[in-house]
Each structure stands twice: as C-alpha cells, then as structure tokens.
Amino acid sequence: MLPSEYLEQGWCQNVLWDGKGGVCLVGAALMGLSNGQVEVDNFQRTAARILGVEFRGAVDWNNDPARTQAEVVALARCVEMQMGLREVETLGVYKLEGAENALELVGAGD
C-alpha cells in the first residue's frame, strides 16, 4: 500500500502511529515505502518542498491542530506523484494556498 492509502484508513498527529490504525504523514511513509530510510527521507523532503517549508516543516504541518485528514492525504498523493509512485491523477487539482500550510483538494467530488 502507498502512504496515502494508509492515511485514508486512519490519520493521527504528534505520533508516528496511534495504535488504533492512525498514522501521521511520516508514519505512513514508513509503513508504505519498502526501500528504507532513504526513501522515507525523500518522501518527507518532497513533502516539505511542495509545502515550501524546511525538512522538519512537513511534520509540523501534519501536527497543526487545524490540519485535516483530507489535506494530509492530498499532500501524500502529490508526493507520490512527484516520486513516480502514483500515476498523475486527473480527477482533482491539488492547489497550495500560500506556503503558509493550507493544502486543499479542489474539484474532486464537487
């Protein structure tokens, strides 16, 4: 399974996984990527680049109390597409609203 698929099943904040099936952005990468720490670091680095933040900023973004599961899933899908792990999707458009940490999925299901 890809990281976004783990996140769809359950999402959490402030821990890698919560013991109830929830994972954070990095926890999902650890569960979903088979090539070890280098690939997980690349996932986190790509997420940070998409968000316009430093490497650790992707973790802080996930842990923001205003963050939603849908936003984290959308970011994970964007990262997977950037890394060549997922086909580019045409069902929705991912749009970053300012680098101030708001990611929204626009067009899918509207």
Contact 48, 57 (CB under 8 A): yes
Could you write out the three-class secondary structure of 57-73? Answer: HHHHHHHCCCCCHHHHH
Domain limits, the chain: 3-106
36-48 average pLDDT score: 89
Task: Give the rounded distance of the alpha carbon of 69 from its chain centre.
Answer: 9
- pTM of the predicted protein model: 0.80
Task: Say whether pLDDT at 44 is over 80.
Answer: yes
Short-list 63, 49, 64, CA closest to 16 = 63
Short-list 57, 3, 50, 53, CA closest to 25 = 3
Instruction: Give pLDDT tens digits for 64-108.
Output: 999 999 999 999 999 999 998 888 765 455 554 443 444 444 433
> How is residue 89 annotated by DSSP?
P
Predicted pLDDT of residue 95: 52
Predicted pLDDT of residue 92: 53
Contact 58, 26 (CB under 8 A): yes
How far apart CA 100 and CA 103 sit, in angstroms, is: 9
Task: Give the rounded distance of the alpha carbon of 72 from its chain centre.
Answer: 4
